[in-house]
Amino acid sequence: MSNILSKLVTLIAMFRHWLKKGPILLVFVGLVAPVVAADDALPSWNDGPSKSAIIEFVQLVTDKTGSRYVPAERRIATFDNDGTLWVSHPFYAQLAFAMERVRALAPKHPEWKTKQPFKAILENDQATLGKLTEHDLAEIVMATHAGMTPQQFEAIVQQWLETARHPRFKVRYTELVYQPMIELLEYLRANGFKTFIVSGGGIEFVRAFAAKSYGIPRWQVVGSSIKNKFELVDGKAQLERLPEINFIDDGPGKAVGINAHIGLRPIAAFGNSDGDIEMLEYTDSGKDAHLEMMVHHDDAEREYAYGCDTKVGRLCEGIELAKERGWQLISMKNEWVRIFAFDK
């Protein structure tokens, strides 16, 4: 920020006597615009340590004359999705989707009326739902995400994204993407970065909205997955989604997933929970200049406030590590002018 200001002051001084001449003013405006752009690209960020860290890092790695210059082909930035790019409370959007699917499919599964965890979903039994285990979640995913082609699955997700509403904000989930992060994605891309999503959520779930919501193409989404089977049906080749876990892109899996899909160590990584620690450690251990940040949910009024006290996007060990390793915590409360595009 101060860097930008000093450049502006110098420019204004240089052009001072020209300012008296009308037509030259246009030239001046044209010259200054690109310098201001870097800063203006993040209008939803308050001046503060996070915004400074981002801008200074981008200047560092894009400065061809500097010793920490990183060529564009290695400017890889990875973003967790739930809680980092969009709301993940009171529960993950994909879980809301899966529960909706359980209700829709229930007529074909009379046995669910007496079988957990399906019974709890159908009866909206909050006490039981609050205690779902990993195994319960896997069972819900298997029952609702498999047995169709990837194209059919995506059409169902698209339909749900159009019709479902968040329980607190009463808007579509895609309206609950964080505006400061959208600006950050665009700012990084404008500076030659390739942006990737590295989500614990389902890769095909996230792909259904990544291009439209984040400007990220489908092949730049990394996520958890179930297996697929190739088959010919009436001479047409298609894939069928199987009720079998293929890969869990969470914790250490995030570093593995990054290597499998991207094949390069990121130089910038953004998360919000303990499940992102290994992704940040992997980024932190590279030879190039690197940046690691954690979105800190500390704004109960405009969004949510949580840390060690939740199972959804728990950030606990990560807070300590951030201090130790010099990772930047982004205070949603203090550093974000607005959280959603619809905020003033």
Residues near a copy of itself, by CB under 8 A: 73, 150-151, 194, 196, 203-204, 207, 211, 217-221, 225, 228-230, 232, 236-239, 246, 252-253, 255-256, 259-265, 278, 281-282, 284-285
Task: Tell the smallest beta-carbon distance from residue 290 to a copy of itself (Å).
Answer: 11
Sign (positive or negative) of CA dihedral 188, 189, 194, 196: positive
| Phi, psi (degrees; rounded to nearest 5) at 342 | -80, -5
Task: Tell the smallest beta-carbon distance from residue 44 to a copy of itself (Å).
Answer: 27
> In the chain, what is the greatest distance between 2 CA atoms, to the nearest angstrom?
83
Residue number, 42 or 267, with CB nearest to a copy of itself: 267
Beta bridge partners of 45: 336
Residue number, 117 or 271, with CB nearest to a copy of itself: 271
Task: Tell the smallest beta-carbon distance from residue 151 to a copy of itself (Å).
Answer: 8
Question: Which token pair is 149?
Answer: 């082609």
Residue number, 238 or 331, with CB nearest to a copy of itself: 238
Provide Rg for the chain, Cα atoms.
Answer: 23
How far is the C-alpha of 98 from the C-alpha of 108, rounded, in Å?
Answer: 16
240 CA to centre of own chain: 27
Task: Tell the smallest beta-carbon distance from residue 111 to a copy of itself (Å).
Answer: 31
Give the three-state DSSP class for 262: coil
Residue number, 102 or 197, with CB nearest to a copy of itself: 197
How far is the C-alpha of 12 from the C-alpha of 261, rounded, in Å?
Answer: 47
Task: Tell the smallest beta-carbon distance from residue 226 to a copy of itself (Å).
Answer: 11
- Which amino acid type is present at position 306? Y
| Phi, psi (degrees; rounded to nearest 5) at 10 | -60, -45
Give the three-state DSSP class for 58: helix
**Quick one: which H or E segment has residue 267?**
none
Task: Tell the smallest beta-carbon distance from residue 7 to a copy of itself (Å).
Answer: 33
Residue number, 101 or 265, with CB nearest to a copy of itself: 265
Residue number, 101 or 207, with CB nearest to a copy of itself: 207
